[in-house]
Amino acid sequence: MTEIQAVLCGYYGKGNGGDEALLVSMLEMLPPQVKPLVLSATPRATSKSYGVKSYDRMNSGSVVRALKESQVLILGGGSLIQDATSLRNSIYYGGLMGLAQQFGLKTIAIAQGIGPVNKPLTRWIAKRAFSNCTAVSVRDPASAALLADWGIDCIMAPDPVWSMAATPVPEIASIASPKIAVTLRSHPQLTNERLETLTTALVDLQAATGSHVLLVPFQPTTDLDLARQIQAELTDNSQVVTLTDPKQLKGLFQGVDLAIGMRYHSLIMAAAEGCKCWAVSYDPKVSKLMTEIDLPGWELADIPTDAATITQAWQQQLETGTALSNESLQTIRQKSIAHKDLLSEAIDRI
């Protein structure tokens, strides 16, 4: 069996638990003949954590060397080409795919969440990049519909993190229930006033239910200060939990009774581990997830201004809400394997 080297690119090495979970999922999907080379913001840390070759994603010389050493570029996964935040990511990933294609590499896009692509330049980049791919898979109906409008074939399957193995965290598992995990992130719409309202609601929820509150910064560089700020208002029956291993991050939700989350992958991890969830959406991808698996929650811009209303909704979800059934979870996990099957088929054609 001839060895193939594949460049893996995504939002890797930035310390974001969700994107690191996607990298772990991508590495698990690779056929045995594929040797990965990961483009990362912190290549040494990536190599140490996952035992792979890694180059600096922003060093043009390293990127060109990586492409020249390889036969395949795998873009995966997540919302890499979109203009909700800025054009920079779309230009970077679209440009990287175009360069790889110029060098004669096959390009494969896996588990993409495409869009929003409202700007003409972003749409042109996206259409051009995906049109020239050997294979494309997406993780939501809106992305599939967009590619269909452009005449680009793809398959649709749930995010691969649904089926990523979880590693239990014994020190969390040993805490008595009820347990509530909170994953908030900084955002312009999370104003001081809204944060104060959410914090008051959480304080009142803890008082009403006797819950142990876990504040989980999914990207510590941006989320840790926020978690500490909230934790300072709670009783001693709370803690900030910082984990860097994506499998442990998922395993943390085992036995958690309610997850209140902004982060997309925090909600996937929590739901996948049988946890009741409440979403606070700051991004279309979170709103899509809420629709797809019927998650209760609010758009960040529309959260109630009255803390008591929030507390009541959370308490009701904690006490009488339902998690996804085992049957539903089994179906989702089984469907998510389609990304791996497509990747294997595409690699076999090289």
CB 183 within 8 A of CB 151: no
Q: Which residues make Cβ contacts (< 8 Å) with residue 204, sequence separation at least 6?
A: 307, 308, 311
pLDDT, one tens digit per residue, over 103-154 is: 999 999 999 999 888 899 999 999 999 999 999 999 999 999 999 999 999 9
CB 250 within 8 A of CB 164: yes
pLDDT, one tens digit per residue, over 321-344 is: 999 999 999 999 999 999 999 999
Adjacency order of strands within the sheet including 179-183: 238-240, 212-215, 179-183, 258-261, 276-281, 297-299
Q: Which two tokens stand for residue 156?
A: 């649709």
Cis ω for the linkage preceding 36 (within 30 of 0): no
pTM to 2 decimals?
A: 0.96
- Judge whether residue 1 has pLDDT over 70: no
β-partners of residue 56 are 40
CB 254 within 8 A of CB 173: yes
pLDDT-derived band of residue 168, with 50, 70 and 90 as boundaries?
very high
CB 142 within 8 A of CB 292: no
- Stretch 158-181: mean pLDDT: 96
pLDDT, one tens digit per residue, over 248-275 is: 999 999 999 999 999 999 999 999 999 9
- Stretch 83-89: mean pLDDT: 81
CB 157 within 8 A of CB 338: yes
CB 4 within 8 A of CB 37: no
pLDDT-derived band of residue 61, with 50, 70 and 90 as boundaries?
very high
Query: Side chain identity at 269, as an amino acid letter?
Result: M
Among candidate residues 267, 289, 273, the one with its CA nearest the CA of residue 169: 273
Q: Which residues make Cβ contacts (< 8 Å) with residue 295, sequence separation at least 6?
A: 267, 271, 277, 278, 279, 289
